[in-house]
A and B are shown apart, each in its own frame.
Chain A
Amino acid sequence: MNQWKNFSKGFFKENAVFTLLLGMCPALGVTSSAINGLGMGLATTFVLVMANIVVSMVKNFIPDKVRIPAFIVIIAAFVTVVEMVMQAYMPSLFESLGLFIPLIVVNCLVLGRAEAFASKNTVGSSVIDGAGMGLGFAMALTMLGGVRELLGSGHFFGWAIYPEDYGMLVFVLAPGAFIALGYLIAIINRFKKA
């Protein structure tokens, strides 16, 4: 398979959030600001790449019937690593992402790539696939977070753009996540068809 296509499919053609609608829980839950979205996206990317590497390496040793539990243990191990490292070196980001870090374990995107791609392909392709899907996910979360932060609190990556009083609070809250995501998907679909 063409490796560039393998990498770039994660951004638009098979983007986890905008096209596949996978990983909605973190995508809607943590994206109240662009930096939260980016942090969550990069944490997921790390887990995705590492899990893809390990799964593609051990795929022949794991009997078919127990592959899902084995994959989940591998993914959970990497998630816990991310959680502990983040708590140690990025405590403020850890606080704002909170509960959603352990939830990467059950992010369908990670298990989905392990099952659908890494367990059938070589280590090299799996790394590229994981990086592409992960960065596409991070991009989507950052865009969603950026839109919500800009409309909701008048900031962008923490920089004040206009006074907070004029922000539409709903975009910081949960309903705003759905509204913003819906419009982003609509815009992206428009460009994909063109």
Chain B
Amino acid sequence: MGKSASTLPNMVLTLLIVTAIAGSSLGFIYQLTKAPIEAAATAKQQEAIELVMPGFDNDPAAEMYEIQSDEGFVLKVFPAKKEGEFIGAAIESVTNKGFSGEIRIMVGMKPNGDIVNYQILEHKETPGLGTQMDDWFKPAEAGAEEKSRSAFFDAFYGIKAKAEGGEDTKSIIGKNPGTSRLTVRQDGGEVDAITAATITSRAFLHAVEVAYKTFTEKADAASSATKQEEGGAE
């Protein structure tokens, strides 16, 4: 069979057929993968909520509402309730003060603002430096890697990984941004910044602070407003 000639009708027809077949098969694959893609995203979100705000028995994702922070970012609040009682919320917060790009975190707070736990959702910080924020601001026992590293150093150099007084100056877990100064030491705060990643540390703490402020100042109003809207719709 000879090669088809490069005449205008031939070329137009060929490209039309090629793109039509490609387009329709992509549509088909899209239909197939749509549900699993959504399920994967929901599962990830659910996992993050359970990690940062454990002990709820409602469906926080279903009761999620959005509020706007003073900086103009939209924060997602996932209220956690146990037996109908409000025990806290997982708040998805974001900051653009990072070393590169946005940092998205999920932080769990009790109604008074005490930090329960946090998780980094998305970031583009420097690998090996800024990326340490995954575990840095948690108590030393939380990260298994941290443990093995300090054991390693203890064995060979006798360096104590923890500060002398025994107080953990890195962790923000259990602290309240309203009563503790949760900024890095360089800015007069109480938290040790990540070594060689002060900008990332600042950005992270900023995201926590935004979450706290927005949550304590605006959440109640927003949540009751949402409820009224829902009531009106019913």
Residues of A at the B interface (CB closer than 8 Å) are 32, 58-66, 69-70, 73-74, 76-77, 80-81, 84-85, 87-89, 91, 152-153, 160, 163-165, 167, 169, 172-173
User: Which of chain A's residues have a CB closer than 8 A to the CB of B6?
Assistant: 63-66
A66 touches B14 (CB 8 A): yes
Residue tally, chain B, CB below 8 Å to A: 32
Q: Do residues B29 and A85 form an inter-chain contact, with CB atoms below 8 A?
A: yes
Contacts of B25 in A (CB 8 A): 77, 81
B7 contacts A by Cβ under 8 Å: yes
Closest residue to B29 on the A side, CB-wise? Answer: A81
Known: A64-B6, A84-B33, A85-B29. A164 touches B11 (CB 8 A): no
Q: Which residue of A lies closest to B129 (CB)?
A: A169
Expressed in whole angstroms, the Cα–Cα distance for A65 and B29 within the complex equals: 30
The tally of CB-CB contacts under 8 A between chains A and B is 86
Task: Name the A residues within 8 Å of B148 (CB-CB).
Answer: 160, 163
Q: Are B11 and A66 in contact (CB under 8 A)?
A: yes
Contact of B40 with A69 in the complex, beta carbons under 8 Å: no
Using a CB-CB cutoff of 8 Å, which residues 152-186 of chain B contact chain A? 152
Q: Cβ of B30 < 8 Å from any Cβ of A?
A: yes
* Docked complex Cα distance between A169 and B127 (Å): 8
B46 within 8 A of A: no
Sampled A-B contacts (13; CB under 8 Å): A60-B3, A63-B3, A63-B11, A66-B6, A74-B18, A74-B22, A77-B26, A85-B29, A85-B33, A160-B145, A160-B148, A163-B149, A165-B149
Contacting residues, chain B, for A164 (C-beta < 8 A): 128, 145, 149
